[in-house]
Amino acid sequence: MARYFLSVKYDGLAFHGSQIQGETPTVQLAINKALSTLLRTEVSSFGASRTDEGVHALCNFYHFDTEQELTGKFIYKMNAILPPTIAISRMYLANDPELNCRFAATARQYRYRIYWQKDPFRFQRALYYPYKIDIAALHEAAAIFPAYEHFETFSKRNTQSRTFICRLTDSHWEEHRDELHYVVRGNRFLRGMVRGLVGTQLQVARSKMSIAQLRDIIDAKDCTLADFSVPGFGLYLEDISYPEGALTEIKN
């Protein structure tokens, strides 16, 4: 039995989240149906990172097991039957057949996009935010998060997580012409965490919260103090990393 990893990208607006929810349209359900059709047996995939409804992915991973030896042509076949809102970009063989795409991941990176000028071509691809903000305050706010490890304040309730400990290795804002992007990288993220980080930082940038108050709410470990109001469609899961040598890419 071999374990394969699929690198998947998708339009989050087309699905009710990534994780399986019965017959509700989700990314995982679409992948499972495509795999089962091609392999002619019922196949269940396992996801590396759960994304909420509306959240996009440039790179999420799903693993599955099969006794069949697969070639790079399998990517073409999967893309031929998957809906147009989801695509397989790469396929890998796990060198350890017990490697778990969720628990073996060493880092995940998210990006949240904001723009100021109304633009129909960015509608629900980034957050339209026509407010005056203090960009210097945003940079200052983002820089403090890697110094913390307990992020209960930025976790939505009803989470399945047993711990609120997350280690962030990067947290910064980037200016891209008329857009601002928040980029955050860490070993793991809690439910709604990135949106909570973004929404709360925007409160700082609009002078509704000071940096001292931001530190206070982190220490409070109280999710009612964070702002989770920014929509999911501005958020992109853009990278997941695994230990060097863990995966062997299967090419055409």
Q: Which CATH number belongs to the domain containing residue 32 in this structure?
A: 3.30.70.580
Return the pLDDT at 156.
87
Using N-to-C axis directions, what is the helix angle for 135-144 and 211-220, rounded to 10°? Answer: 30
> Does residue 115 share a domain with residue 232?
yes
The dihedral built from the CA positions of residue 25, 31, 34 and 40, taken in this order, carries a sign that is negative
DSSP code for 84: T
Of 70, 104, 138, the one marking the end of a domain is 104
- CATH number of the structural domain spanning residue 190: 3.30.70.660
Strand, coil or helix: what is 249?
strand
> Does residue 183 share a domain with residue 212?
yes
Summarize pLDDT for 168-201 with one digit per residue, the tens: 999 999 999 899 999 999 999 999 999 999 999 9
Return the pLDDT at 160.
65
Determine, yes or no, domain membership for 157: yes
Q: Please name the residue ranges forming H helices in 73-191.
A: 73-81, 135-144
pTM for the complete prediction? 0.94
Tell me if residue 52 is catalytic: yes
> Does residue 80 share a domain with residue 17?
yes
> Does residue 138 share a domain with residue 35?
no
Task: Give me the residues paired with residue 213 across strands.
Answer: none
Determine, yes or no, domain membership for 44: yes
Return the pLDDT at 159.
66
Return the pLDDT at 162.
80
* 89, 140, 185 from 144: Cα distances, Å: 35, 7, 14
DSSP code for 112: E
Return the pLDDT at 2.
96
Q: Identify the active-site residue in 52, 222, 227, 239.
A: 52
Determine, yes or no, domain membership for 219: yes
Structure tokens at 204: 């700082």
> Does residue 44 share a domain with residue 12?
yes
Can you list the residues of the chain whose pLDDT is less than 50? Answer: none
Determine, yes or no, domain membership for 244: no
Range of the domain at 115: 107-238
Determine, yes or no, domain membership for 100: yes
> Does residue 75 share a domain with residue 50?
yes
Summarize pLDDT for 95-109 with one digit per residue, the tens: 999 999 999 999 999
Domain count, the chain: 2
Structure tokens at 110: 């998210």
